[in-house]
Amino acid sequence: MKKLLIICGPTATGKTGLGLKIAKKFNGEIVAADSRQVYQGMDLATGKDIQKGKWLKDHWEIEKIPVWLLDVVQPNQEFSVAHYVKMSWPIIKKIWQKNKLPILVGGTGFYLKAMVEDVPTKEIPPNWVLRKQLEKKSIKVLFNELAELDSFRAAQMNLSDRQNKRRLIRAIEIARWQVGNRDWQPKKPPMMKILMIGLKAPLPKIYQMIDQRVEEQFKSGAEEEVRKLRERGFSWELPSMSAMGYREWRPFFEGKSSRGEVLKRWQFNEHGYARRQMTWFKKNPQVHWFDITQKGWENKVEEEVFIWYTKDHAKKN
């Protein structure tokens, strides 16, 4: 059976570095799973580790390892989990055809979930025009509209969902799409054996690593990167420009805050993002966790991957 390795966890825990090491040892290729790193020209603030890599027509090669799904769209182009799933599977199948190991690496939990679990709505693309229209409406009006379109979905929502405008808008978006596509049937992921490796650390350590990385990104030219994106005409309202590392700069460019305030706000927001990532991934009992502050953790990861990857082969012999 085909195999798929996943390396996940909160930001700044060294997922890409581990992915490259595992890929070298087990003849693998990396497929990035990061909703911020898909955008071209958005490198420093997204932590895209391409400084030592080279672009090869449709993918990056970093330390001689192919890395897919970095720099696939412009900052003003639409990109959603539906796009990610559609683009990922042909790449993974191509890696399998070469008898190599595909390694999904990233911290965007929903992208990873959509790849390995049966999430029917993942293939339904966002409707940006509709979203802009719905954004102007109140939560009460949105919920009533959803109840008219899909009373069952509305009844399933808990209190938190009912008060979350983003979730209500997505639910309406899905309900409207399904009305016009009644014969549609979602595709199921192929049969495969999956190993999920999660990297973690105590929160104070994660905060320390985040702060250090953000400071390095700050000093390496994050401000200039944002400036160039703005000069190219990319609006603050774009989903790409609302990502962390970019939205924090808006008050500075509008003359409302200092560089120091940008740095503190950026670090603070990354802390919150790391907590949300841990909450998301901890819900998945399939994740095998490794504390990166513990001595020898990388060797333990390699050992677990080796046992999982060679298990079926050993049985056949």
Residue range 44-98, pLDDT digits in tens: 999 898 888 999 989 999 999 999 999 999 999 988 888 899 999 999 999 999 9
**Alpha-carbon span 194 to 163, nearest angstrom:** 35
- pLDDT tier at 120, thresholds 50, 70, 90: low
Sign of CA dihedral 294, 296, 300, 305: positive
Q: Is 80 exceeded by the pLDDT of residue 278?
A: yes
**Alpha-carbon span 7 to 235, nearest angstrom:** 33
Question: Domain 3-117+189-316 is of which CATH architecture?
Answer: 3-Layer(aba) Sandwich (3.40)
Least confident interval from 79-83, 99-103, 241-245, 309-313: 309-313
Residue 317's pLDDT is what? 42
Rounded to 10°, the helix 259-282/109-116 angle is: 30
Write down the domain spans for the chain.
3-117+189-316, 122-180
Structure tokens at 299: 């060797």
Sign of CA dihedral 39, 44, 48, 50: positive
Structure tokens at 151: 């009373």
Residue 264's pLDDT is what? 97
> What is the arithmetic mean of pLDDT over 306-311?
92
> Which runs of E-coded beta strand occur in the chain?
3-8, 28-32, 53-55, 60-62, 65-68, 101-105, 193-200, 287-291
Residue 181's pLDDT is what? 79
- pLDDT tier at 126, thresholds 50, 70, 90: confident
Which residue is listed with tokens 């973690």?
200
Residue 119's pLDDT is what? 66
